[in-house]
């Protein structure tokens, strides 16, 4: 899934009518490092807080980034547990705080794909399929998206799950692999990073079928969770429809689907700094 730009924006907006102030929080990206501290005493990971932007003449707004550095491969599970997600920019890995989402697999009972529907799948493909760009272009145009072309970037962490209908590739899921906490673990931690399809026979509901399949597949591997990427805007509400859904609210993993849905709807409605002050 395309990473939503992450910046922690904090500030206080004064209502000129009531005189009351309100703290607001949003997220984006920055680069000027201002502070860092260990995540855990036994861990090499460090929180990094970077300043980026501020206004104090017309309204009081400060934008900062919260990220992680020095993440050891065996600590990646801990970074995920604390709500961080991984982005890959120009081959560089960046951990950023997000409204991450996941499925608790012990609470699910989905089936893998039904061959009787004429569907088949092939997982753990290491190289980006030649059909990826063609299907991605169709997917972008169909949904009128403007900011997901970087989904076509490849990396050694990515594997691909191909879905076929009657012998032709109709959908692809980009799977992001995280290192397991123990070197003798049977399988990596997995994230369904990005899903695209060509809208071939919409009545098949491939988006739902393939995620149910991936949940069942991850459960069969003995994993505890299947991560499903950051959850922002209305296009991410569908994730909450699956059994075992959880989302990171900034402090802990939550199962409050109603609150998550309201936040995603609000994300899509807000288009300016002025609108943030009404939150």
- Beta-strand ranges (E) seen in 57-148 are 60-69, 84-89, 92-97, 100-104, 119-125
Angstrom CA distances, 262 to 13, 68, 197, 259, 265, stand at 22, 28, 27, 5, 5
Q: Judge if 124 and 150 occupy the same domain.
A: yes
Q: Judge if 83 and 150 occupy the same domain.
A: no
Question: What's the confidence (pLDDT) of residue 162?
Answer: 94
Question: What's the confidence (pLDDT) of residue 24?
Answer: 35
In a domain, 275, yes or no: no
Beta carbons of 191 and 174 less than 8 angstroms apart: no
Q: Judge if 132 and 54 occupy the same domain.
A: no
In a domain, 155, yes or no: yes
Q: Judge if 18 and 140 occupy the same domain.
A: no
Question: What's the confidence (pLDDT) of residue 149?
Answer: 55
Beta carbons of 83 and 97 less than 8 angstroms apart: yes
Give how many domains the chain has, as a whole number. Answer: 2
In a domain, 177, yes or no: yes
Q: Judge if 211 and 246 occupy the same domain.
A: yes
Segments of the chain with pLDDT less than 70: 1-42, 116, 147-150, 273-274, 276-279
Q: In 3D, which of 205, 202, 219, 23 has the Cα closest to residue 111?
A: 219
Beta carbons of 77 and 43 less than 8 angstroms apart: no
In a domain, 274, yes or no: no
Q: Judge if 254 and 118 occupy the same domain.
A: yes
- C-alpha 5/C-alpha 148 separation (Å) is 12
Domain boundary among 67, 98, 129: 98
Q: Judge if 167 and 86 occupy the same domain.
A: no
Domain boundary among 46, 73, 98: 98
- C-alpha 148/C-alpha 139 separation (Å) is 10
In a domain, 278, yes or no: no
Domain boundary among 98, 114, 135: 98
Q: Judge if 81 and 118 occupy the same domain.
A: no
Q: Judge if 110 and 215 occupy the same domain.
A: yes
Q: Judge if 191 and 110 occupy the same domain.
A: yes
Q: State the average pLDDT for the chain.
A: 81
Q: Judge if 195 and 59 occupy the same domain.
A: no
In a domain, 2, yes or no: no
Residue 75 DSSP code: G
Identify the domain containing residue 34 by its residue range: 8-98
In a domain, 166, yes or no: yes
CATH number at residue 153: 3.40.630.30
- C-alpha 247/C-alpha 261 separation (Å) is 11
Q: Judge if 82 and 112 occupy the same domain.
A: no
In a domain, 3, yes or no: no
Where do runs of H (alpha helix) occur along the chain? Answer: 76-81, 132-143, 206-220, 257-269, 273-276
Helix, strand or coil, per DSSP, at residue 163: strand
Question: What's the confidence (pLDDT) of residue 279?
Answer: 67
């Amino acid at each position: 899934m395309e990473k939503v730009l992450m910046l922690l924006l904090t500030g206080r907006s004064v209502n000129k009518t009531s005189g009351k102030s309100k703290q607001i929080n949003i997220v984006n990206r920055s680069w000027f490092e201002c502070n860092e501290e260990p995540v855990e005493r036994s861990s090499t990971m460090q929180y990094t807080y970077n300043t980026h932007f501020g206004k104090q003449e017309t309204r009081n707004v400060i934008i900062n980034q919260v990220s992680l550095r020095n993440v050891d491969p065996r600590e990646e599970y801990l970074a995920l547990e604390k709500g961080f997600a991984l982005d890959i920019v120009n081959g560089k890995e960046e951990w950023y705080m997000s409204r991450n989402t996941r499925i608790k697999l012990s609470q699910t009972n989905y089936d893998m794909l039904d061959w009787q529907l004429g569907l088949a799948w092939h997982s753990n493909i290491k190289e980006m399929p030649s059909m990826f760009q063609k299907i991605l272009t169709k997917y972008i145009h169909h949904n009128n998206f403007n900011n997901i072309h970087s989904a076509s970037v490849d990396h050694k962490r990515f594997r691909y799950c191909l879905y076929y209908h009657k012998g032709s590739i109709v959908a692809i899921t980009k799977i992001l692999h995280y290192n397991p906490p123990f070197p003798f673990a049977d399988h990596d931690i997995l994230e369904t990073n990005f899903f695209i399809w060509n809208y071939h026979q919409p009545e098949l509901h491939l988006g739902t079928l393939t995620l149910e399949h991936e949940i069942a597949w991850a459960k069969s591997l003995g994993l505890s969770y299947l991560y499903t990427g950051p959850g922002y805007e209305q296009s991410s509400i569908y994730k909450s429809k699956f059994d075992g859904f959880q989302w990171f609210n900034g402090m802990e993993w939550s199962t409050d689907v109603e609150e998550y849905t309201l936040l995603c709807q609000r994300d899509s409605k807000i288009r300016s700094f002025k609108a943030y002050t009404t939150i």
